[in-house]
Amino acid sequence: TGQVYIDGQAVPVGDAQNILEVVRKAGIELPTFCYHSELSVYGACRLCMVEVESMGLVASCSTPPADGMIIHTNTRRTRRLRRMILELLLANHDRECPTCAKNTGCKLQKLARQYGVNTIRFGNRDEKLPIDASGSSIVKDPNKCILCGDCVRMCREVQGLGIWDFAHRGSKTQVTTAFGKDLADVACVNCGQCVAVCPTGALTVKSEIDRAWSAIHDPAKTVVVQIAPAVRVALGEEFGLAAGSAVTGKIVAALKKMGVDRVFDTLIAADLTTIEESMEFMSRMENGGKLPLFTSCCPGWIKYCEQMHGELLENLSSCRSPQQMFGSLVKKHYAKKIGKTSGEVVCISVMPCTAKKFEAQRPEFTTDGVYDVDIVLTTVELAQMIKEAGLVFDDLEPAGFDNPLGMGSGGALIFGASGGVMESVVRFVSGYLGGPEVGRVDYHPARGIEGIKEAAVTVKDKTLKVAVVNGLANAENLLQRIKNGEADYHLVEVMACPGGCVGGGGQPDANDTAARVQRLKSIYRLDAVEQVHKAQDNVYVNKIINEWLQGPGSHAAHHDLHTGYVH
Ligand code: HC0
Ligand code: SF4
């Protein structure tokens, strides 16, 4: 409370926790590397230093405001200090900017320009540390790390995993995995949240752009693309549109112009997931099966559960994720329909998620020796390809998906937001059981960006206790409460990323909470105007179940759409 004076302007403190927040309220952007409102305060980068009268230079992120404080944000000393910090960081940093994946998106580069650093008085470090590209989803280049510790706190505080930590001392300090193990050999679940928060090119997404172009340019291949729910409300941001802009038709148009043969929608597989998972859930309810049932579409959550909670594997739904149901349908059925072998059809996914790259490479998801999903591109990677193709995104005339795999319900679309899978199951089950909510079911308690949501829903004579959780630290918290008998549910949805897929590690500015909220709202706006609201009303899904899979609950449906888990 009270007020402070920032560069001569009186500013109320309000509920600001530190000087940095008040300064931002005053409309002044202080530079920071290590400050994120969702993570703990670290105060390491010192870029946010301000001068406070009678205190001298202080780090604004870790100094609380006091009534009457007189603060100067732009003085000879702050300017000299910021430039010196940037220069020292650059001296110790790989400077191959034009070929860096973060070029033009790098915060170090941006701040160096902003503060006019145009010469570096110190020699560059010449020791080159090895790059770790052993994992499926993320690449670590320690030569570009500025030791801000953002990845360390993100992985520990939001995902509860603590894959990264500081090792060694002084000028040898590095951020690394335990015992310096390769990324492929640690418990990392590939969520990409550390990549999203990394200000430089030290952590980047493993690109599959070259492989995608090779497939598109190969005349012997039929290239089929699926687009995940959360991509369509985020990709526009890469072309300067507001967060949450819906650009579905433009994405389809761009892919066609790039030379893709068929553009399909993951939504059709999400509807299939809703149906299969709801049937599994109702059968467990009726037959005394393992409960709570946990959703299984998030590959980060699945890997986490396999590694940390072997005792819960029977509680996981056996449904493959929509991405993998789609891949399975394409390779086992669609390829035949168009007279091709599974090897002649290349299935590319566009996902908001980096862990989907890992999921696609799980050995169980193959048909006749080839992967069901061959290539996974993130939202940002697809945007990059659209730029490379020279397409003016704004000018693209929206196009429609191809059939028979191009149509999904509103219930499938909301999979992209935390709570969406839960709501779709509620829509299906209440319709199926003929409860009071047959028709247009909206289930608001499942919605929103909060980390843990709990509710009870009554369908006919049954009360279902449900929980929705995002962020693996929140999930762990919930699991412990279940274990200790403090909580008990029938159905739990888990998504690893904050806000669900809209906040996936492959999205533009994946760490931007305001953008996540806009994307979430956009998804529900699109759902509200969608004519087909529930999975069971999607005629294309019913056709596929009956004509390709020999009816609901058949052996084929089980074989093609379900999976198992490993300890
Ligand atoms: Fe998601 Fe999915 S909703 S995980 O968040 O379930 O990535 O968008 O594609 O598979 O449909 C991500 C998003 C998907 C899958 C779907 C699910
Ligand atoms: Fe941790 Fe996710 Fe980064 Fe892996 S990808 S190190 S789990 S934040």
- CATH code where residue 188 lies: 3.30.70.20
> Which candidate in 140, 303, 332, 356 is catalytic?
356
Q: Which residue has the tokens 């009268």?
A: 53
Lowest-pLDDT range of 11-25, 119-133, 225-239, 352-366: 119-133
pLDDT value at residue 439: 57
Distance, CA of 414 to CA of 536 (rounded, Å): 15
User: Do 489 and 446 meet the contact criterion of CB atoms below 8 Å apart?
Assistant: no
pLDDT band at 445 (very low <50, low <70, confident <90, very high): confident
Q: Determine whether the shortest distance from the Cβ of 416 to ligand 1 is under 6 A.
A: yes
Percent of the chain scoring above 90 in pLDDT: 86
Instruction: Report the CATH number at residue 64.
Output: 3.10.20.740
Catalytic site residue 297?
A: yes
pLDDT band at 440 (very low <50, low <70, confident <90, very high): low
Instruction: Give 374-389 pLDDT, tens digit per residue.
Output: 999 999 999 999 999 9
Lowest-pLDDT range of 213-227, 280-294, 435-449: 435-449
User: Do 32 and 43 meet the contact criterion of CB atoms below 8 Å apart?
Assistant: no
Q: Determine whether the shortest distance from the Cβ of 194 to ligand 2 is under 6 A.
A: yes
Question: Long-range contacts: 89-96, Cβ < 8 Å, 24+?
Answer: 89/146, 90/117, 90/120, 91/120, 91/122, 91/123, 91/124, 91/125, 92/124, 92/125, 92/146, 93/124, 93/125, 93/143, 93/144, 93/146, 93/200, 94/128, 94/141, 94/143, 94/144, 94/201, 95/124
Ligand 1 centroid to Cα of residue 542, in Å, is 21
DSSP reduced 3-state for 332: helix
Q: Where is the domain boundary, 152, 184, 205?
A: 205
Residue 396 forms part of a structural domain = yes
Task: State CA 208 to chain mean position distance.
Answer: 17
Q: Determine whether the shortest distance from the Cβ of 526 to ligand 2 is under 6 A.
A: no
pLDDT band at 438 (very low <50, low <70, confident <90, very high): low
Nearest CA to ligand 1 atom 15: 322
Q: How many CB atoms lie within 10 A of CB 213?
A: 15
Residue 264 has pLDDT above 80, yes or no: yes
Q: Where is the domain boundary, 178, 205, 232?
A: 205
pLDDT value at residue 459: 81
**Six-digit token string for 56:** 């001298």
Which atom, in ligand 1's list, is nearest to the CA of 356? 7
Q: Within this chain, do residues 178 and 323 fall inside the same structural domain, yes or no?
A: no
DSSP reduced 3-state for 348: strand
> Which candidate in 21, 237, 280, 493 is catalytic?
280
Q: Which listed ligand is nearest to 299 at the C-alpha?
A: 1
Q: Within this chain, do residues 199 and 227 fall inside the same structural domain, yes or no?
A: no
Instruction: Give 85-115 pLDDT, tens digit per residue.
Output: 999 999 989 988 999 999 999 999 999 999 9
Q: Which residues of 389-423 are buried (b: 16+ CB within 10 A; e: fewer)?
A: eebebeebeebebbebbbbbbbbbbbbbbbbbbbb
Catalytic site residue 305?
A: no
Distance, CA of 173 to CA of 161 (rounded, Å): 21
Q: Determine whether the shortest distance from the Cβ of 421 to ligand 1 is under 6 A.
A: yes
Looking at residues 178-196, what average pLDDT do you find? 97
pLDDT band at 357 (very low <50, low <70, confident <90, very high): very high
pLDDT value at residue 166: 96
Q: Within this chain, do residues 200 and 294 fall inside the same structural domain, yes or no?
A: no
Is the model more confident about 36 or about 297? 297
Distance, CA of 567 to CA of 564 (rounded, Å): 10
Q: Within this chain, do residues 316 and 461 fall inside the same structural domain, yes or no?
A: yes
Residue 393 forms part of a structural domain = yes
Q: Which listed ligand is nearest to 137 at the C-alpha?
A: 2
Q: Determine whether the shortest distance from the Cβ of 321 to ligand 1 is under 6 A.
A: yes
User: What does the mean pLDDT of the chain come to?
Assistant: 94
Whether cis (ω within 30° of 0) applies to the bond prior to 199 is no
Instruction: Report the CATH number at residue 429.
Output: 3.40.50.1780
Q: Within this chain, do residues 81 and 10 fall inside the same structural domain, yes or no?
A: yes
User: Do 479 and 312 meet the contact criterion of CB atoms below 8 Å apart?
Assistant: yes
Looking at residues 228-253, what average pLDDT do you find? 97
Q: How many domains would you assign to the chain?
A: 3
User: Do 458 and 310 meet the contact criterion of CB atoms below 8 Å apart?
Assistant: no
Q: Within this chain, do residues 160 and 70 fall inside the same structural domain, yes or no?
A: no
Catalytic site residue 283?
A: no
**Six-digit token string for 278:** 């709801």
pLDDT value at residue 563: 97
Q: Determine whether the shortest distance from the Cβ of 266 to ligand 1 is under 6 A.
A: yes
Q: Within this chain, do residues 22 and 155 fall inside the same structural domain, yes or no?
A: no
Q: Within this chain, do residues 348 and 451 fall inside the same structural domain, yes or no?
A: yes
Residue 476 forms part of a structural domain = yes
Residue 285 forms part of a structural domain = yes
Q: Within this chain, do residues 383 and 433 fall inside the same structural domain, yes or no?
A: yes
Residue 124 forms part of a structural domain = no
Q: Within this chain, do residues 511 and 415 fall inside the same structural domain, yes or no?
A: yes
Residue 195 has pLDDT above 60, yes or no: yes
Instruction: Give 287-323 pLDDT, tens digit per residue.
Output: 999 999 999 999 999 999 999 999 999 999 999 999 9
Looking at residues 143-162, what average pLDDT do you find? 96
Nearest CA to ligand 2 atom 3: 194
Q: Where is the domain boundary, 145, 174, 205?
A: 205
pLDDT band at 200 (very low <50, low <70, confident <90, very high): very high
> Which candidate in 208, 276, 359, 493 is catalytic?
359
Q: Within this chain, do residues 145 and 255 fall inside the same structural domain, yes or no?
A: no
pLDDT value at residue 229: 98
For 357-370, give the DSSP string.
HHHHT-TTSEETTE
Tell me which residue range forms the domain holding 548: 210-561
Residue 441 forms part of a structural domain = yes
pLDDT value at residue 413: 97
Lowest-pLDDT range of 208-222, 320-334, 538-552: 538-552
Instruction: Give 41-76 pLDDT, tens digit per residue.
Output: 888 889 999 999 999 999 999 999 999 999 999 999
Nearest alpha-carbon partner for 208 in 360, 405, 393: 360
Residue 307 forms part of a structural domain = yes
Is the model more confident about 551 or about 525? 525
Instruction: Give 523-540 pLDDT, tens digit per residue.
Output: 999 999 999 999 999 999
Nearest CA to ligand 1 atom 17: 297
Instruction: Give 463-513 pLDDT, tens digit per residue.
Output: 899 999 999 999 999 999 999 999 999 999 999 999 999 999 999 987 788
Q: Within this chain, do residues 306 and 405 fall inside the same structural domain, yes or no?
A: yes
Q: Determine whether the shortest distance from the Cβ of 327 to ligand 2 is under 6 A.
A: no
Residue 346 has pLDDT above 90, yes or no: yes
Catalytic site residue 237?
A: no
Report the residue among 36, 182, 189 best suited for mutation to probe ligand 2: largest number of ligand atoms under 8 A from its CB.
189
Catalytic site residue 364?
A: yes
Nearest CA to ligand 2 atom 2: 191
Q: Which residue has the tokens 């789609």?
A: 326
CA distance readout (Å), 287 to 13, 168, 224, 293, 432: 58, 55, 40, 13, 17
Residue 93 forms part of a structural domain = no
Q: Is the pTM of this model over 0.90?
A: yes
Percent of the chain scoring above 70 in pLDDT: 99
Q: Determine whether the shortest distance from the Cβ of 196 to ligand 2 is under 6 A.
A: no
